[in-house]
Structure 1
Amino acid sequence: MKAVIIAGGLGTRLRPLTYNTPKPIVPVANVPFVLHQIELLRRHGIKEIILNLHYLSEEIKQLLGDGKSLGIKIRYSLEETPMGTAGAVKQAEALFDDEPLVIFNGDILTDINISQVIDWHKKKKATVTLTLTRVEDPTAYGLILTNQDGQVTHFVEKPSWEQLANFASLGPTDTINAGIYVVDPKIFRDVPANTVYSFERQLFPAILEKGWPMYGFISDRYWMDIGQQSQYRQAHEAIMHNEVAVKVYGSRVDNRL
């Protein structure tokens, strides 16, 4: 099985850390961040990873190479200009096969059990499976509603509290898009080439409208978007407190060091 990591962003919210360093290799616990994502995917049986790159791409390629030293195969898909989340993955379409594809947003630190998500996707015979995570305040995110069977019923971008109250009878109203998907590669046939295109705002709502089977897998594992400095700091605190299962290099010398 293959995975795509969407890692072409400019990292503007993390500046000044990203002025001269691409976000995927900004250190998290003294390790280039993307290595935490690669290790998670490798641990769950992913043999080949396609990295979507744009900003300072050569630095990332020099660090990772072909992936052999990491026990996987790495291939690269370069964006000359940013194409949106779905548009970026569309550019790598020639590298896909007929198997389900794991897609991973490049901002996410997590220890989500990807094997469980893949198994759920296959069990439900889904076209798309979205990993969902619970948050206390979903008004800053994209809310995804599911029915009792886990099938996605609604997408609501940055809902108001009034909207959340109205949706309460339909299912959980604290579940947001965790930025990790398992998809049938055929979905990219409907994405126009060389066009800015979004998973969240265009492709997924279109798939829902077509009635293709789309499911949500709700995970209770640690999840953090590290794309802002405050969240970047929180991720380090979570690692120091053993709240997230990631590989840490070095020896513990104190409770928090």
Structure 2
Amino acid sequence: MKALVLAGGRGTRLRPLTHTSAKQLVPVANKPVLFYGLEAIRDAGITQVGVIVGDTGPEIRQAVGDGSAFGLDVTYIPQEAPLGLAHCVLIAREFLADEPFVMYLGDNFLVDGIRDLVDAFREAEHDAQILLTKVEEPQFYGVAELGPDGEILRLEEKPEHPRSDLAIVGVYTFSPAIHEAVRAIRPSARGELEITDAITWLIANGGRVHSHLVSGYWRDTGRLQDMLECNRIVLEAIEPDIRGIVDGPCEITGRVVIAPGASVENSVIRGPVVIGAHARINGSYIGPYTSIGEGCVVEGAEVEYSIVLGDSTIRGVSGLTYSLIGRNVEVVRAEGVPNANQLMVGDHSRIQVMS
């Protein structure tokens, strides 16, 4: 069995951050979202992985390499434009050959991985298996209607009157039958080859299409609130690990990770918190559910429930919360400017806020 990982999306909902970086590489607890997916694939016993890349392909290639760091063998498959999920299957035909495969959207986050999904597919004789999860507002998702034995009867995209509360998660398993389906469909109104149309074609032509419910936590990390929630979930499970330098009168409580080369001086750290390598925290408060990236500097500041990417500086600012700060960003205190303490900032920016 192989895997097809989609890492070519443009991440419009996380702009301006994704104007300059791949959305799949935005970190959760200081590790890119994409890495969690690659590890889940490996842990499911799959080693041959094709990665669909687009405009941010060079950045993805640099981060993932040949896959050996994850115990994988990675092949890159360029997509000239975001022409739909089914188009990804179409252009990956040579790589996939006639083997079954799992298709994994690279910005999805699953705490419990995909081993159960893959094992269930291997034991059954389905042509497709769709991962589903219950949601409170199904009208905002692709929704599946199931038969009495868990078979997929119908798929609807953001229906006004949903037939169920089961939303489609961005992980699928397919037999080689899907290749005929993606060749048979036509582009949708938005000009894309939709995977839901291909699955619907399979159902209409006698294909065996089944459901599999998510057993743990799932999020599509396309929005700020989803990134911060995923960060919170991961930090809930960390174990204390202080390898950096702690100096002066510091208060460190709860589950706190301080990476080698990092330093904390005269500060209060209340976990769960992760502080990356070579970061410097001085005279500051770092509150729960915060990830500080490597090389960051936080001086005379207060930060909590936030993600700060590498090599950024926060100085003299209080009350910074519910924020996603890009790389090489400078956030400093300024006089005479109204407070603006909720931020989503792109890379190489400089923001002034009232403390």
1:248: how far off?
Answer: 8.9
2:167 to 167, 176, 183: 176
Q: How does 1:1-257 map to 2 (within 5 A)?
A: 1-160=1-160, 163-164=161-162, 167=163, 173-192=164-183, 196-200=192-196, 202-242=197-237, 252-253=255-256, 254-257=270-273
TM-score, reference length from structure 2? 0.64
SS at match of 2:52: strand
CA contact (8 A) 1:131 1:180 kept: yes
Range with bigger deviation, 111-120 or 58-67: 111-120
CA offset at residue 124 of structure 1?
3.3
- 1:22 is displaced (CA, Å) by 1.0
Q: Deviations over 1:55-107 (max 9, x none)?
A: 22111112211111221101100011222111022111100133310000122
**Residue ranges of structure 1 left out of the alignment (5+ in a row):** 168-172
How many aligned residue pairs are there? 243
Tell me which amino acid in the other structure corresponds to 1:225: D
Q: Is the 8 A contact 1:135 1:176 kept in 2?
A: yes
For 1:231, the aligned partner's letter is D
Q: Would you say the 8 A contact 2:33–2:108 is kept in 1?
A: no
What is the aligned-residue identity percentage?
30
* Matches of 2:223 and 2:67, distance apart in 1: 28
Larger radius of gyration: 2
CA contact (8 A) 1:134 1:220 kept: no
Q: Give how far 1:158 is off.
A: 1.8
In 1, Cα distance between equivalents of 2:165 and 2:42: 30
Counterparts of 2:229 and 2:220 in 1: how far apart (Å)?
10
Counterpart code for 1:212: G
Contact 1:143–1:159 (CA<8 Å) still a contact in 2? yes
Partner amino acid, structure 1, of 2:177:
K
More strand by proportion, 1 or 2? Answer: 2
Residues 157-181 of structure 1: CA distance to partner in whole angstroms, max 9, x if unpaired? 2233xx34xx4xxxxx221111111
> Using a 3 Å threshold, how does the CA distance of structure 1 residues 113 and 59 change in structure 2: closer, same or farther?
closer
2: CA distance, partners of 1:19 / 1:136: 31
Cα distance, 1:135 vs structure 2: 0.9
The alpha-carbon distance between structure 1 residues 59 and 249, as it changes in their structure 2 partners (threshold 3 A), is: farther
* 1:52/1:89 contact within 8 Å kept: no
Query: What's the CA shift string for 1:196-228, capped at 9, x where partnerless?
Result: 41102x211111111210000112311000011
Kindly indicate which of the two structures has a greater share of residues assigned to helix: 1
Residues in 2 aligned to 1:135 and 1:198: alpha-carbon distance in whole angstroms: 22
Q: Write the distance in 1 (CA, Å) between the matches of 2:70 and 2:64.
A: 8
**What are structure 2's unaligned runs of at least 5 residues?**
243-254, 257-269, 274-355
The equivalent residue for 2:249 is none
1:113 positional shift? 4.5
CA shift for structure 1 position 183: 0.2
Alpha-carbon separation, structure 1, partners of 2:129 and 2:102:
10
Aligned equivalent of 2:308:
none
So what's the TM-score if we normalise by structure 1? 0.87
Aligned-pair CA distance for 1:41: 0.9
Contact map agreement 1:29 1:236 (CA 8 A) in 2: yes
In 2, Cα distance between equivalents of 1:16 and 1:237:
22
Letter in 2 for 1:256: P
Q: Relative contact order (C-alpha < 8 Å, sep 6+): which is higher? A: 1
Give the letter for the 1:182 counterpart. Answer: T
Compared with structure 1, are the counterparts of its residues 191 and 36 closer, same or farther at alpha carbon in structure 2 (3 Å cutoff)?
same
Distance (whole Å) between structure 2 residues aligned to residue 232 and residue 2 of structure 1: 28
Q: Which residue identity is paired with 1:151?
A: E
Query: Is the Cα–Cα contact under 8 Å of residues 3 and 102 in structure 1 kept in the other structure?
Result: yes
Q: Retained in 1: the 8 A contact 2:66–2:75?
A: yes
